[in-house]
Chain A
Amino acid sequence: MQAEEKLTYETWPASPERSTLEAKNKFLGFWLFLGGETVLFASLFATYLALKDKVPDSSHHLAKDIFELPLTLTATMLLLTSSLTSVYAMYHMKNFAFKKMMVWLSITVLLGLGFLGLEIYEFNHYVHEFHHTFTSSAFASAFYSLVGFHGAHVTFGLGWILALMFRNYKRGLNLYNAPKFYVASLYWHFIDVVWVFIFTVVYLMGMVG
């Protein structure tokens, strides 16, 4: 039985994401990568916390002046929900239901796009409303770097899931691409994990002052 061989519902293994050696390697390697990403984001968080509200003079806005809860809440809901939809997609992947998986993945992508749109709007708003630009202060640089790095992850995640969907649109599921879908969904969850800390540490704690 080969990785690219056509399987049926009956022959589909219980953990398709880890049923070949190649898949196991990919799975593990990706998790290790996420361990590294944890430290990467920790560095950015630590930098942000050290530079929070560090501005050259009082004409600059501080965290408590610029953030708005409704916007952040909406973005959070979009991203949290997309996490659930990608769980659904993996549920169907495990049950060898390709079509359903694709549907849920599409919803995930749409939610992700919504989140991204909000973030772009938000940055744009800060720049025009508060002159809070990437170069205006250390605080601003740290804020845009941390949140922007996350946004870049979202963008990359979207591109990745889309690429997988297009590539495998005609092929259906097999043991070669199932781990790829699975790993991409892990990535998506990880982005969500990071966001939980961003909305807590950056936005909510920013509002608290």
Chain B
Amino acid sequence: MTFIDRELARDLLRRMQTIRAFETRVEDLFKAGELPGFVHSSAGQEAIAVGVCHHLTRTDYITSTHRGHGHAIAKGISLDAIFAELYGKEAGACHGRGGSMHVADFSIGMLGANGIVGGGFGIATGAALAIKYQRRGEVAVCFFGDGAANKGTFHEALNFAGVHELPVVFVCENNRYAQFTSASRTTAVTDIAVRAGSYGIAGDSIDGNDLVTVIESAGQAIERAKNGGGATLINMLTYRHSGHFVGDAEQYRSRDEVEASKELQDPIVRFVQRMMDVGVLTEAEVDEIEAAVGVQIDAANDFAVAAPYPEPADALRHVWTVGSPQ
């Protein structure tokens, strides 16, 4: 445990709390009718995004999902840019064209949230092929859900990654539900990591709500990838605190189940406890970090609210079409 010193602990906690605070604020704003479209919250899954991205540089790649806010923040997107994007403002990361399900920041290797479940497998694999071809020392990480693991795209990508020993890590955020359906109803073998054997790649199955475990497992996989050891498939067990989308009635799971997980499995609470137990962090520090994060979220939201919408006249910018500005 010693490898987590005070500085690192503060940094990791700040990242997790930033995601939690962002998602919480977004939920409130959405329920208050302040945000357009619909949004998916990753609250409860912060340890995976933060633990994995802890090992990544700006030039490493990630592909994300419909539940992508946490991945983007962990990879380093500016809070102003992601908040403005959720409002559909021109200052957004995608100039308002994308929205919550398509948040992307290519300048830091964040190749996009994706509204198509399973859409990231092949894209991450292609990015890994480019890395290998150009002999760059980077890695591509594909975040996906337990439900996405049932898409054929999973199979096609992992087989190819296995054949070419590509520098890619497939991280399953296994929160045990796909929308309203529990994984056991639709997935023959729910420990996704078992499938690594079908593709001759490394596999691991871990507690995805324990930040330290995530850091260790992801670290090994990413090191393997960067050292030419090929791909890894990691099944990370977690739980989403909110409904599938904000507004979900959640009839498919019991309040008790949700509360129990929040109480006993919350990745932030567990990390804080652990760090305090070993004396790396103090309660005062934790509160101070939480407060600082709150201020940042306020500032980013204020920025986004004040930012202007795109010009309707620019509706055709960024796509080829007759007479459109290229």
A and B bound? Answer: no
Chain B interface residues toward A at CB < 8 A: none
Chain A interface residues toward B at CB < 8 A: none
